[in-house]
Amino acid sequence: MKFSELGLSDSLLSAISKSGFEEATPIQAETIPMVLKGQDVIGQAQTGTGKTAAFALPILQHLDFSNPNVQALIISPTRELAIQTQEEVYRLGKDEHAKVQVVYGGADIRRQINALKSHPQVIVGTPGRILDHISRHTLKLDHVKTLVLDEADEMLNMGFLDDIESIIKQVPDDRQTLLFSATMPPQIKRVGVQFMKDPKQVKIKAKELTTDLIDQYYVRVKEYEKFDTMTRFFDVQDPEVTIVFCRTKRRVDEVSKGLEARGYNAAGLHGDLTQARRTEIMNEFKRGKVDILVATDVAARGIDISGVTHVYNYDIPQDPDSYVHRVGRTGRAGKHGVSITFTTPNEMDYLHEIEKLTKVRMLPLKPPTEQEAFVGQLNAAESDIGELIKRTNTDKYEKMADKLLDEYEATDLVAALLNDVTRDYVKVKITPERPLSRRHHGSGRRNNNRGGGHWNNRRNGDHHSSHNRNRRNGGGNRDRKRNDERHSSSKHRFTIKNK
């Protein structure tokens, strides 16, 4: 369904177009009309299905820009999601000058207090830091018209339900409440019954991956080996139309520039680029001027790219559904596709979670050697030279060719040509990213309390101490990153096979 059919304003439709979105996702198509009518909505859909725009667009349409008070509050489980959500809401509301502020723990609260003095109309935040601001009277919620609980099951899993209930008591009773969750456990349903008015329920079936046309492989590799390993695959496989998925914007920049330095036709795509540059890159990719598109999940979301033959997951995605979204870019319209996921030893649990969702075991793939990559380059060069000869008027160069053949051996001339058309090895250094936190083996949910216990007591998920009720200083830690010291009991060994 087109966004223009959902009842959105012209300014928002323009912002959607500038963001590169073409058609609404199922969760957007079903929930946006309901939210625009003012109804409470419970939306159940997997991560990566466009939920942010599903609530952001109606919120922006309902904003009273002459009202300096906070009119919408979006609660997110983690600082990363809060920042990402704030960026997307800001980008969609930029043309209308919507003021969107993010607050989260582990950051200087004084800066956030100063930012709140600029009267933002939309607040995105993590539960602990929102409560910190409420207790300091630096955040007032008595004019909130729309409350959003995003990734509610994740907030439940992290032990934030009490905090959420405390926050809800600070907002007016006549508000609109939107709840989005990937799963719907009983405690989340209780929130819906207790704090929502006749909520309309929308459940979007998890996107399934058509696997018959996609060969799915993984390569177990150390972080510092990823780049060289991937370029060797490029040389051996000679992919026609390729997307490389990276976890962060910085990594997109470094990987795309590294590929260009080695002579590949590559370009990076992420949310910090101007719309003009995004459009230029996409047009070059669609016309074949760029062979390799390096992108983040967010940048690639909502963009229709046909004819992709290979998907390389430079970084394994954090959740299985993002994998489905990435790999689903290839193997379309009856054409064959290949996906390769580079996995560090510490990330094997994430790979197993992906296999559970897709019900497909990825095949281990042995990285090509330098010699195999060189042979691949030579084979490609031979083909390129053949095409070059076909489209060259050789008569113009016949005399000089004869002269050169008199002076040099034919073998040396051809070798020099091959050297010129093959890629030089340029040393590329990619900054290591913080590894994904370890999953508990056999559990798809992230839980930092190894002793188990009732969810109300699981408050150590954000690295804060047991004295969390006394922390109202500038360094409030309630919403710091979840524990990365997660352990897995899995120690599988894999047989590495050639393709």
Q: What is the pLDDT of residue 232?
A: 93
Low-confidence ranges of the chain (pLDDT < 70): 20, 46-48, 206-211, 275, 301-306, 332-334, 423, 437-499
Q: Which residues lie closer than 8 Å to 411 by C-beta, 6 or more apart?
A: none
- pLDDT the model gives residue 102: 95
Structure tokens at 262: 């080695």
C-alpha triplet 325, 29, 151: angle, nearest 5°: 60
Give the pLDDT score at 492: 34
pLDDT at 331: 77
Nearest Cα residue to 468 out of 83, 129, 74, 187: 129
Tokens representing residue 468 in the block: 């969390």
pTM for the model:
0.54
Look at the chain and count its residues: 499
Residue 330 DSSP SS3: strand
Write the DSSP assignment of 473-499 as a string of letters: STT--TTPPPPS------------B--
Give pLDDT, residue 107. Answer: 87
- Confirm if 375 and 416 have CB atoms less than 8 A apart: no
d(CA 440, CA 447): 8
Three-class secondary structure of residue 123 per DSSP: strand
| Residue 211, pLDDT score | 62
For residue 335, the model assigns a pLDDT of 78
